[in-house]
Chain A
Amino acid sequence: GAGVSQSPRYKVAKRGQDVALRCDPISGHVSLFWYQQALGQGPEFLTYFQNEAQLDKSGLPSDRFFAERPEGSVSTLKIQRTQQEDSAVYLCASSLLRTSGSDEQFFGPGTRLTVL
C-alpha cells in the first residue's frame, strides 16, 4: 500500500475485555514502532521491532500489553483485560531501515481505543 494502515480505526471495549490492534507497515520497511497518544499529549513510545525481532519493549505500561510481528511485516498490539486508563490513540509507524535514531518514521492514522 501507499502508506501505513491501521485497523480498526475506532474500538470501544468494555473494561476487562481483550483487544487486538493491527498495523500494516509500508512494504519492505524493516523498523516498526508502536506509540500510545493520550488526549492532549504527544505520542509515547511503547515498543520497537526490527523485522520480526522485538528489540525494545521498555515502553509497554504493563504485562497486559503484548506486541508481535511474527513474519516481519504486519504487527499486532494486544491489550488484555483493558482498563479505563488504556483509553488513547495507538499509533503505528514504520521506517525503511533498521533504526539508528535518525530515520524518518511514517505514521499510520491510529486506532482510537475507548474503554468504558
Chain B
Amino acid sequence: AQSVTQLDSQVPVFEEAPVELRCNYSSSVSVYLFWYVQYPNQGLQLLLKYLSGSTLVKGINGFEAEFNKSQTSFHLRKPSVHISDTAEYFCAVSEGGGFKTIFGAGTRLFVKA
C-alpha cells in the first residue's frame, strides 16, 4: 500500500532564507508525485508534479522538487522564501492508472520577517 510521510509538521524560516520541505513515500509500483499548497481559507492548488523523465521538477512561485527513487523521496525546495509563501504544503502520491491520491499530513511553512 502507498503511504506518504512528511517529516516536519512545522518549518519556521526567515524571509529570503532557503527552505526544504521533506517528503518520503512508499509504494510497490511506479508512482506519480505531487506537491500541493494550501493558503489560508483557500483550496489546495498544485505547485508541481513528477510524472517521468528529469528528476528535477520546477513549479510555480520559484519552487522545485527532486525525485530520488533510491531514497523514495520528493523533497520540495525554494532558494529564497517570501512572507507570502506562508501556507500548508502537502506531498501526495498516486499510482499510474489508479484513482486514489494519497496525501501526507502536511507541513506548515511559516515565513518570518
The residues of A with any CB-CB pair to B shorter than 8 Å are 3-4, 33, 35, 40-45, 48, 55-56, 58-59, 91, 93, 99-102, 104-110
The residues of B with any CB-CB pair to A shorter than 8 Å are 4, 6, 9, 32, 36, 41-46, 49, 51, 90, 92, 94-106
Additional 10 contacts, C-beta under 8 A, given A55-B99, A102-B51? A43-B90, A43-B103, A58-B100, A59-B100, A91-B44, A99-B98, A100-B97, A102-B96, A107-B43, A107-B45
Structural contact, B96 and A101, CB atoms closer than 8 A: yes
Which chain B residue has the least Cβ–Cβ distance from A100? B97
Which chain B residue has the least Cβ–Cβ distance from A50? B99
Structural contact, A108 and B106, CB atoms closer than 8 A: no
Which chain A residue has the least Cβ–Cβ distance from B106? A42
Structural contact, B102 and A45, CB atoms closer than 8 A: yes
Given A45-B102, A48-B100, A102 and B94 touching (CB < 8 A)? Answer: yes
20 contacts between A and B (CB under 8 A): A3-B43, A33-B101, A35-B103, A41-B106, A42-B4, A42-B6, A45-B99, A45-B102, A48-B100, A55-B99, A59-B100, A93-B44, A99-B98, A100-B97, A101-B97, A101-B99, A102-B51, A102-B94, A107-B44, A109-B43
Which chain A residue has the least Cβ–Cβ distance from B103? A42
Structural contact, A41 and B99, CB atoms closer than 8 A: no
Q: Which residues of B contact A3 (CB under 8 A)?
A: 43
Given A42-B105, A44-B103, A109 and B42 touching (CB < 8 A)? Answer: yes
Shortest 4 CB-CB distances between A and B: which pairs? A42-B103, A107-B43, A101-B94, A107-B44
Q: Which residues of A contact B45 (CB under 8 A)?
A: 106-107
Given A100-B97, A107-B45, A42 and B104 touching (CB < 8 A)? Answer: yes
Which chain A residue has the least Cβ–Cβ distance from B46? A104
